[in-house]
Amino acid sequence: MSSSPNEAQPATAVALPILFEAIVHTKCVEATYNGGHVLLAPHVAFTRHGEVYVGATTIERDGVPPREEKLGLFKLVGLAGFALTDRTFIPSSVFDPKDARFAAETMIAVETRQA
C-alpha cells in the first residue's frame, strides 16, 4: 500500500465525527496542540480554503485554565490525538455565530441562547 501525498485527510475523516458529536452534545475534546495537552470546548466547525477548523474555548492547557476566556481557531489536522471526553460545557458568551471569521463557512455550531 502506498502513502498518499495528503496524509492529513484520514486524520480529518476520523476526527470530524468526533467534532460533530462534541458540538451537538456540548462535550469537551482533548488533544495535543503545539506540544501541549489541551481540553477544548468546541463551539463551531467551519471550512476555510478546503481545510476544517474548530472554533473553541480553551478549558485547560497542560492542566491550567487560561487567564481569560476567548474563542480560539484551530486547524483540525493540527490537533493530534483528538478525542471526545465525558466533560460537558455551557456554550460561552464569547461565541458569536455571526462572527465574520467563520459564519459564511460554518458546518455546525452549538446552539446559543437568545436573550
Q: In this predicted structure, what is the pLDDT of residue 6?
A: 46
Region for 78 from its dihedrals, namely left if φ exceeds 0, alpha if ψ lies in -120 to 50, beta otherwise: alpha
For the chain, what are the domain ranges?
8-109
pLDDT (tens place) for every residue of the chain, 115 residues total:
444 444 445 567 889 999 999 999 999 999 999 999 999 999 999 999 999 999 999 999 999 999 999 999 999 999 999 999 999 999 999 999 999 999 899 999 999 865 4
Instruction: Could you please state the CATH topology (level 3) that the domain comprising 8-109 is classified under.
Output: SH3 type barrels. (2.30.30)
Phi and psi angles of residue 23, each rounded to the nearest 5 degrees, phi first: -70, -45
Q: What does pTM read for this prediction?
A: 0.88
Closest listed residue to residue 16, CA positions, set 6, 29, 7: 29
According to DSSP, the residues that pair with 46 across neighbouring strands are 53, 106
Q: In this predicted structure, what is the pLDDT of residue 3?
A: 41
